[in-house]
Chain A
Amino acid sequence: MRSCDGVVNLRTGRAMNGTKREYVGLNPMPPDFAAMYPPIAFVVEEYCIGCDRCIPLCFFDALEMIDKPEHKYRRVALVEPKHCTGCGLCFEACPTDAFVWVPDRSDERHASKGEGDLEDTNI
């Protein structure tokens, strides 16, 4: 099984050699940004087909493929909430519409709602 280091960008054909991983997030965000504009991206694993298309398109290093042996495709995309800026590009990349918006879990006021409170804003 391929690990995330062996991921090839399907569009450019290049190996994803980790340039994304050097860059973390987008700083600084304005105060209360998360509270005022909560949603961040979240992957519904049931729909994810492990195709890697979202990885090169995430400009903010918030997505990675993780190995998941019990999943049908054995690997799924995972959003790093701290890095996600809510830009929406991964929604454009996904052929199976596996992305939904969730309240930002980095903000305490929304933390109590938990991950079960999915919001599909259908952009």
Chain B
Amino acid sequence: MKQLKSDACLPTAFAGLKLRSPLIVASGPASHDAKQIRLAERKGAGAVVLKTVCSEKYDNMRYWPRPRYKLLDWDRQINGRSKQFTLYSYEQGYSGTLQAYWDFVRVCKEKSDIAIIGSAFADATADWVDLATHIEENGADAVELDISSPHRPGSLGFETTFVEAIKSVVNSVKIPVWVKLAPGPDVVNQSVAAEQCGAAAVTLCNRMRGIDVDIENQRPILHGYYAGIGGPWAKYYNFMNVAETARAVKIPISATGGVMNAEDVISYVLLGASTIQILSAIMVNGWDVLMEIHAGIRSYMERKRITSLEEIRGKALKKIVRSDEIVRWSGEPKNGPRNEWD
């Protein structure tokens, strides 16, 4: 494996894989083309989760609606410097054929040294197994089961559909199986279920499903269906999802959602995540953001005198208290402009 400059290489062990960095390019428009994988490699990513391929039944997911993105709350007058925005997305599955996807996996694996994770979506168990075995045969290092796509039909339930699929895929392939879950109150239970089914890791969390309304025309904006929403604000909810799950499962967690800078990555690690998946930041700030995040992590590690992120993983998690343990008033004198009575 090629070594990067020292400020980019942060070796990470994750679910049986040896990655050169905990930063992973999440499944999406930044992992749809073999050229992007080489770019991700050059910018220091440890792995790439390829764009999700859908079974033939969901062929329509290949034909994305146009336009498929909208940036909500993006202040175009100040060129998006407001830090907060929402990427409202209708982009669905991989747009090539199944055969094109197998070739894509193989080419990515041949042309790059970083880990290549295939991603799949289906409903019938047989289709799941078919997609996962093809991904394995073409050389992927792991497969991520995207059971939580915001674009999936609403009728597919976790217990009714996906538990069986996870079990069958785990029994059919030798490579590690990651399960990508949706943010929500079920995330801990679903992670535990995925662990029991034999998943090697969980990815927390997918984009939320959301919708915005055009009040002048009194209809949903864009194409009328729910969209995948994400943005810097999504991190706080996912911090909690990661923290709660990290206490409940032993399998490693790949955290994703709202990561814009090194601070977000470190926060996820402090809450127990092992790898971090990034997408929106690359889309709006460019690929160089990967190198900036690496530099930020490296500078934090120097400041805290640590040599590996493993040393701080879960540190903040241990300090989360129960609600009845919150110290209401410690009695300590507090410094600050409003606390000068003593």
Contacts and interface: CB of A to CB of B under 8 A. Distances in A.
Interface of A: 9-12, 14, 19-20, 22-30, 33, 36-37, 39, 53, 56-57, 59-60, 85-89, 91-95, 101, 123
Given A12-B285, A93-B80, A95-B79, 14 more contacts: A11-B285, A12-B286, A14-B288, A23-B33, A23-B39, A27-B32, A28-B96, A37-B66, A59-B30, A86-B67, A87-B68, A89-B71, A92-B70, A94-B76
A56 B313 CA distance: 34
Contact of A88 (B35, B69, B80, B97): B69
A58 B69 CA distance: 11
A24 B39 CA distance: 11
A26 B32 contact: yes
B97 to A, nearest CB: 8
Q: Looking at chain A's contact residues, is the secondary structure mostly helix, strand, loop, or mixed? A: loop
A11 B80 CA distance: 7
B162 to A, nearest CB: 26
Contact of B70 (A14, A57, A60, A88): A88
B124 interface: no
A53 B76 contact: yes
Interface string B156-197: 000000000000000000000000000000000000000000
B320 interface: no
B63 A30 contact: yes
Nearest to A38: B66
A19 B286 contact: yes
Query: What are the 7 A-B residue pairs with the smallest beta carbon separation, nearest first?
Result: A88-B67, A86-B66, A92-B71, A28-B96, A11-B79, A30-B62, A10-B79
Nearest to B100: A28
Given A29-B95, A59-B30, A23 B36 contact: yes
A63 B70 CA distance: 17
Nearest to A17: B288
Interface residues of B, number: 36
Contact of A23 (B35, B70, B95): B35
Interface string B18-57: 0000000000011011011001000000000000000000
Contacts of A56: 284-286
Contact of B76 (A22, A30, A59, A93): A93
A59 B134 CA distance: 29
A92 B66 CA distance: 14
Contact of A30 (B36, B80, B96): B96
Could you say which of A12, A22, A53 has the most chain B C-beta atoms within 10 Å of its C-beta? A12
B128 interface: no
Contact of A26 (B33, B66, B221): B33
A59 B29 contact: yes
Contacts of B32: 26-27
Contacts of B81: 11
Contacts of B71: 89, 92-93
A19 B40 CA distance: 11
B36 A87 contact: no
B70 A53 contact: no
A91 B70 CA distance: 8
9 contacts: A12-B285, A19-B287, A26-B32, A26-B33, A30-B63, A37-B65, A87-B91, A88-B69, A93-B74
A57 B35 contact: no
A33 B64 CA distance: 9
A33 B95 contact: yes
B31 to A, nearest CB: 11
